[in-house]
Every structure is written in C-alpha cells, then in structure tokens.
Chains A and B, each alone.
Chain A
C-alpha cells in the first residue's frame, strides 16, 4: 500500500513538474531563439510549465503511455510488490485525474478508463548486481512517439548513415512531435533492442553526455546537425529544433546496423524512485 502511494506521488510529480534540466534547456532555447513566432511559442511553453507547477496541473493533456524502467538488483526483495503497486498506482492516478485514460484496445478502440490493459502500463526490467531498485517513471506522449522509427542500415552506410537517418526523420516529423524535441538513439543490438535502448536513453538528464567520449562526440555532432534543419519550435522555424541527443549502444550482428530512434516532445516528463532492500523510498526527479 505504501509503495503504491509513493509511485502515485511520482506519477503526479512527473506529470505536473518538468525536471529542472529540461526547464533550463527550454529557457536557454528561449534566450537563444531569434525567430519571432518560435520565440512566442517558447514563451507559451515556459508560461505553461510554470502555471502547471504552481497549480499542480498536468503539463500536457496527453499524459502519455505510462512507461516504467526498472533498474533492479538481483537480490531486491520487493519485485512482485513493485509490479503490483505500479499497476494499482496507474489505475488510481487515472481515477484521481492525474492522468487521462490513455490506453485503448487496438482493435475496437474501447477505452477501459483506467490506463491498464494488455502489457500496459509498460514495464521494462533491467537486472544487475545488488539489492536495491530504481524505478524510472516516463510518461510518453503519443504525438512524439509517432515520430519514432527504426532503420536497419547496411553496415557499409556506417555512422554517416545514422546521421542521415536522424536528420531525415526529423524533417519528416516536422512540427508533429512538439519540437524542440529530445532524441533518444539506440545503435546496434537488433531491431527490438535498438528501440528499447533508444527509449532508455531518454532517462538521462539533458546536458549529461554518454560516458564514452566517442559516443558523447556523436551526440553533440547529431545535436548540431539536427538544429540545422530549421524545424524550430512547433515547426515555426529558427535555430532550436532539438534540445539534446542521447545515445545508448549494444554490440551488433556483423550483417546489421540497427538504429532505433525515439523522439520525445519538449514536455520531457520524468521522475524516479529509489527503493533500498529495507523498503525505504526516496522520490527524485
């Protein structure tokens, strides 16, 4: 019961309060942008973020697909309780109007009204040594998710092929994913793993680079290329189209170069919960 309430609080925090790193990047974009309409859109975005925080309202009406990444030690004692609590918390968050009922049957479109259905909420497990757990809450909006894509490149196309794929997707998506966006890229692994890594890459705060220099350099280069597209805020043009690019990678099959790309809207909502082996919890952003 207690864990359920903690998760409920984390969902509410994620939905109503933008993480400080995202706020700072939006503010930087506002100060940097010279395109008048895009600047006015950034102003509305900042006003909205502040108003939502002050009134404890959802930042965006698309409160997303409730997505959880669990970074869990092999010896963490509350695995079952954690999963049950996530499902209950999502359902309670819906009845408390923290989130919109956003999960429907793919065949009939029928909405059960509680954000719970087959495989939803979506829970991703990453197991490691240890006896504690971190739960990442990532409500993922539909408009930006629709701009996500997978490319099974030929290995001969190499890193240049990855760069072209990202730029091409951003131009195709235009204003639809609510730019300035954040790009998560998963390189290698296979079709499924590349996309999971791409989404996992979004958990990293903006401005924090990958621990390997070669990956960090590619993140910065892609950020620079992405901002040459001129998409601008909400598609109105200008110098800021993407706030950051985050890459994760896995070893690949010699014949494949999979690249998964997950696009996140400017409303990059996150929260995380740390739970130790005694059940002590801490909610952070």
Chain B
C-alpha cells in the first residue's frame, strides 16, 4: 500500500502500517545521528528538556550537506546514514521521547524493533546515497540545534518536508523486521555458495 502521511496530523495511522508499505511524508522531520542520540540521552539523564518535540516529528538518520545563503540554510544533499549504528541508543530514545517514525537505511536490529512494537512505531528506509533527490523534498530548514557543539553532520536539523519518499516500511508495529528476515535468507544462500566453492572443479 502507498500512504501519504502528514506529520504530526496522521500519527494515529502509523500503528496500521505494514512491512513493505510505501510512504511519502509531509511535515516536520528532525535529523539525528550517533552524537545527537547520545546527547538526547545525556540531556534526559540531567533532567533537561529538548528544544523541540521528537514525538511530533519523524526522526531521520541523516547528516546533511547544508549551505547558508543570504542568512538562510539550504539543504543540498540529505540522504540517510547507516541506521544500525543507532541500534546502540534507539530503544532508549524511542522510550524516552516517544518517537514513532524512524527513517534511515540498511535496517535495524531486534532491540529497536521491540521498542517500536511497544510504542506502535515503524522504521522505514530511504534509498541510500540518493542525497540530492532527498534534499529536493526538504524545502526549508526550520531550525538547527547543537550546531556549534556537534558540527553540521551531527547537529539536529529540523526540516519542513514535502512528499519525502518513497520510504519503504522495513520494521512494522507488529514487530516484523525485513532486516532479520533477509539476513536469514542471505545466510542460507551463503551456505549454498560455500558448498559450491567446496565442490568446484575437483
């Protein structure tokens, strides 16, 4: 199924999404890579609030190329970064901040899938490397946080997205995880290839 979601208005539709569904997102998106995840957890531990509401936005694993032009930020390239690095922190970030839509690339592990199941959330992927195309859907930079401390790739950028997609649901709220399913299939194929190598030409 193909869905056009407006965020935050359509957040109640997330719990009905299924692995393999295709999404186009319009609304607020915030970027968070390794350092931003760590910082979000540190701030929570210190009892400090974030300057934005993660639960009302899409979290995007991305470190964009951005340019300041006449005092305004412009997004030049903004494809996804490898999500599995964020498996280290994602369960806690989901539980503390109530994030329900995560976008990245490459897939995520069981711990993250479990946390998403508990909040009725999803993880979807955007084509890795398609940075210029992704940037086209980020019409405006609404804000940027921690730019000084973290540098531009790791800072938290808030984008106003228009039809950001196609995103493919890779982990659904029932806990189905394409990463896990495909890895089992690849392991099976690997054993077959090894047999082929062992028996070749002898």
Contacts and interface: CB of A to CB of B under 8 A. Distances in A.
B76 interface: yes
A40 interface: yes
A75 interface: no
Given A44-B166, A58-B65, A174-B179, A160 B198 contact: yes
Interface residues of B, number: 52
B44 interface: no
B197 A163 contact: yes
Given A48-B133, A59-B129, A178-B129, A225 B193 contact: yes
B127 A41 contact: yes
Contact of A236 (B78, B150, B168, B190): B168
B133 A44 contact: yes
A267 interface: yes
B182 A57 contact: no
Given A58-B76, A174-B179, A237-B185, A52 B105 contact: no
Interface residues of A, number: 53
Contact of A45 (B130, B136, B186): B130
B193 A228 contact: yes
B193 A234 contact: no
Interface in B105-145: 105-107, 125, 127-136
B101 to A, nearest CB: 19
Given A44-B166, A58-B77, A164 B194 contact: yes
A58 B77 CA distance: 6
A174 B182 contact: yes
A61 B106 contact: no
Nearest to B107: A175
A234 B194 CA distance: 23
Contact of A167 (B20, B129, B151, B193): B193
A176 interface: yes
B15 interface: no
A189 interface: no
A51 B76 CA distance: 12
Contacts of B186: 171, 174, 229-231
Given A104-B151, A167-B194, A225-B193, 13 more contacts: A47-B133, A48-B130, A52-B132, A57-B77, A61-B62, A61-B134, A62-B81, A63-B77, A174-B106, A175-B128, A178-B105, A225-B197, A230-B189
Interface of B: 20, 35, 62-67, 76-79, 81-82, 84, 105-107, 125, 127-136, 150-154, 166, 168, 178-179, 182-183, 185-187, 189-190, 192-194, 196-198, 200
